Copies of this chain bind each other. A is one copy, B any other.
Amino acid sequence: MRFWAREKSSMSSSRKVVELFYDVVSPYSWLAFEVLCRYRNVWNIELKFKPAYLAGVMHGSGNRPPGMVPNKFHYMTTDLKRLSNYFGVHLSPPSNAFEAMFEKGTLNAMRFVTAVAEKEKEGDMLVERVSRELWKRIWSTDQDITQPASLTEAGLKAGLSANEVEEILTLSKSQPIKDKLKSVTEEALEHKCFGFPCTVCYVNGKTEVFFGSDRFELMAYCIGEKWVGPQPANPTAKM
Task: Give CA–CA (A212, B236) in the complex, Å.
Answer: 21
**CB-CB nearest in chain B for A85:** B221
**With an 8 A cutoff between CB atoms, is A86 at the interface?**
yes
Q: On chain A, which size bracket covers the interface? A: 35 or more
Q: Inside 8 A of A78's CB, which chain B residues have their CB?
A: 209
- Per-residue contact bits, chain A 198-234, to B (CB 8 Å; 1 contact, 0 not): 0000000000110110110110011000111100000
Q: Inside 8 A of A221's CB, which chain B residues have their CB?
A: 82, 86, 236
Q: Which of A49-93 contact B (CB under 8 A)?
A: 61-64, 69-72, 74-75, 78-79, 82-83, 86
Number of copies of chain A assembled together: 2
CB-based contact B82/A211 at 8 Å = no
Closest Cβ of chain B to A208, distance in Å, is 8
Q: Inside 8 A of A11's CB, which chain B residues have their CB?
A: none
CB-based contact B194/A71 at 8 Å = yes
Q: Inside 8 A of A71's CB, which chain B residues have their CB?
A: 61-63, 189, 192-194
**CB-CB nearest in chain B for A230:** B217
Instruction: Select which of B211, B214, B227, B229 is within 8 A of A215 by beta carbon.
Output: B214
Contacts A82-B222, A227-B237, A239-B226 hold; do A194 and B62 have CB atoms under 8 A apart? Answer: no
Instruction: Select which of B69, B82, B226, B236 is within 8 A of A63 by beta carbon.
Output: B69
CB-based contact B217/A229 at 8 Å = yes
Task: Give CA–CA (A237, B229) in the complex, Å.
Answer: 9
CB-based contact B236/A86 at 8 Å = no
The 5 closest A-B CB pairs, nearest first, are A237-B237, A214-B214, A71-B194, A61-B71, A71-B192
